[in-house]
Structure 1
Amino acid sequence: MIDFHAHLDLYPDPLSVVREISARGMYVLSVTTTPSAWKGTSALVQGGSRIRTALGLHPQLAHLRFGELDLFDEYLPQAMYVGEIGLDGGPEYKQHWQAQLAVFDHILGACKAAGGRILSIHSRRATSAVLDRLEAFRGAGTPILHWFSGSPRELERAVALGCWFSVGPAMLAAEKARGLARAMPKERVLTETDGPFAQLDGESAKPWDAARATAGLADLWNMPQPDVDKLLHANLRGLVTGCRESVQNLAQDSR
């Protein structure tokens, strides 16, 4: 089971969630919303677990945490995963659009210089702008568009740019999102929950609720659920292997 976008540090009892993840043998990407949260969130992870911590600066906090970009740069060499990053075009954040752009551009530029990273990206009401920035910073890494909510045409553009997608059970509750998930390339899809922010049956989603996304994809793709689970794990292996190889190649080229 895979949850490729969860905020483990924001659960009321993160350690109990981490213990349950480890007991279930899950693969989890624990995203952060500020660089200053990265070390503490990384410390939640026990040795030998399948949890990885992403270094992020959430677009909704860009105007408040702009000063943490130096900290982002300091930690980036230690982080293979970057997220949650991106842009948010919601009306309550539009006034901070320039700060969002400056932060996103800085992060993409830093990731490109570092040889590329696996990127978990927020694009609410800002899909075209996010794709524009990814096009401008080709080589920043492999973008995974978390909870994609763009148009079918934007989906086609994202696929052409090499984007991946992480899909959660809360996302699949909407018919539009189900149509988008049906059209996504199966070999570029992973499951997520966006817990504890996403709600399922009136409660915060837990990482193991990613199984509900696997079941939803099986229905949409008309595939047996065990086959979907195997496909998702193959996708994850390919994603991680590809990122490691690109970083190693850059290191060799720079010698």
Structure 2
Amino acid sequence: MIDLHCHLDLYPDPHWVASECISRKLYVLSVTTVPSAFEGTARLAPTNSRIRTALGLHPELAATRARELPLFERLLPRTRYVGEVGLDGSREHRATLDAQRGVFSDVLRLCARAGGKILSIHSRGASTMVLDTLSSNPRAGRAVLHWYVAAAKQVARAAEMGCWFSVGPSMFLSDRGRAAIAAMPKDRIVPESDGPFGMIGGRPAFPWEAWMVVTGLGELWEESQQVVAAQLRSNLASLSQDWP
């Protein structure tokens, strides 16, 4: 099973969730929201586990935590993964978009200088702006667009740019979400839970529940769950050779 975007450190009992991920042999990308959370979050993942910790600076916090960019730069050599980063153009955060864009551009520049990273990218209310910023920084690495609910034309543009997509179970609950998933290349989709923010049945999703997307993708693609599961495992291997 695979979860390419969750916030392990933000569960009420992160040590229990991490332990469950390890016992279930789950492939997990544990994203962070600020650089100062990276070291503590990384301690949740033993070196012989399948959990990888990403270095993040969330767009909702970018304006107030831009001072952590020097720390981000210092920590960057310690991981192949960056996230959660990106832009948020929703009503609550639109006023800080200029500051967000500056931070996101700096993050992409640092990733390019480091030889490229695998990035988990937030784009709520800013789909086009995220793609524009990525296109200006083509050497930043492989972009995995997290929860990318956008029009088919934007999904096609992202795919043409080489972007990947992480898809959560809740995306299948809306026509817009299903349409976005249907437009994504099958060989560039990976599961995500976005837990504990992603919800299932009115409560926070756990990382192992990201695998529920197998059912939704099977219905959308008109394929068996075995075929879908094999495709997702192949996708992970293509995205990164870093997991044992």
Same fold (TM over 0.5): yes
Counting aligned pairs with the same residue, the percent is: 49
Contact 1:120–1:145 at 8 Å: present in 2 too? Answer: yes
Q: How far 1:95 sits from its partner (Å)? A: 1.0
Distance (whole Å) between structure 2 residues aligned to residue 133 and residue 211 of structure 1: 31
Aligned to 1:105: 105
Moved over 6 A (4+): none
Residue correspondence of structure 1 range 12-27 to structure 2 within 5 A: 12-27=12-27
2:117 matched to which residue of 1? 117
- Aligned pair count reads 243
The answer as to whether partners of 1:125 and 1:150 remain within 8 angstroms in 2 is no
Q: Tell me the secondary structure at the aligned position of residue 63 of structure 2.
A: coil
Residues 125 and 149 in structure 1, CA contact (< 8 A), matched pair in contact too:
no
Counterpart of 1:63?
A: 63
User: Could you say which residue in structure 1 is the equivalent of 2:52?
Assistant: 52
d(CA) in 2 for partners of 1:218 and 1:139? 34
Q: How far is the alpha carbon of 1:91 from its aligned partner?
A: 1.1
- Helix, strand or coil at the partner of 1:91: coil
Aligned position for 2:165:
165
What per-residue deviation string (whole Å, max 9, x for no partner) do you get for residues 138-170 of structure 1?
A: 010000000001111111110111000000001
Q: For 2:7 and 2:41, locate their aligned partners in 1 and report how far apart those are by CA, in whole Å.
A: 9
Q: Does the Cα contact within 8 Å between 1:30 and 1:51 map onto a contact in 2?
A: yes
Match of 1:239 in 2: 239
1:85 deviates by: 0.2
Query: What is the match of residue 249 of structure 1?
Result: none
- Do residues 180 (structure 1) and 183 (structure 2) align? no
For 2:206, the equivalent position in structure 1 comes to 206
Alignment-mate amino acid for residue 153 of structure 1: K
Tell me the residue number matched to 2:2.
2
Partner SS, residue 143 of structure 1: strand
Give yes or no for the alignment of 1:144 onto 2:148: no
* CA RMSD, 1 decimal: 1.2
Q: Which moved more, 1:189-198 or 1:172-181?
A: 172-181
Residue 132 of structure 1 corresponds to which residue in structure 2?
Answer: 132
Q: Distance in 1 between matches of 2:183 and 2:128?
A: 18
Deviation (angstroms), 1:75? 0.4
Residue 176 of structure 1 and its aligned partner are, at CA, apart by: 1.1
TM-score, scaled to structure 1: 0.93
Matches within 5 A, 1:185-196: 185-196=185-196
**Distance in 1, Cα, partners of 2:149 & 2:89:** 12
Equivalent residue letter for 2:8: L
Quote the offset at 1:223 in angstroms.
Answer: 1.0
Q: Could you tell me how far apart the structure 2 residues matched to 1:182 and 1:104 are?
A: 28
1:47 deviates by 3.1
State the match for 1:251 in structure 2.
none
Name structure 1 gaps, 5 residues minimum. Answer: 245-255
Q: TM-score, normalised by structure 2?
A: 0.97
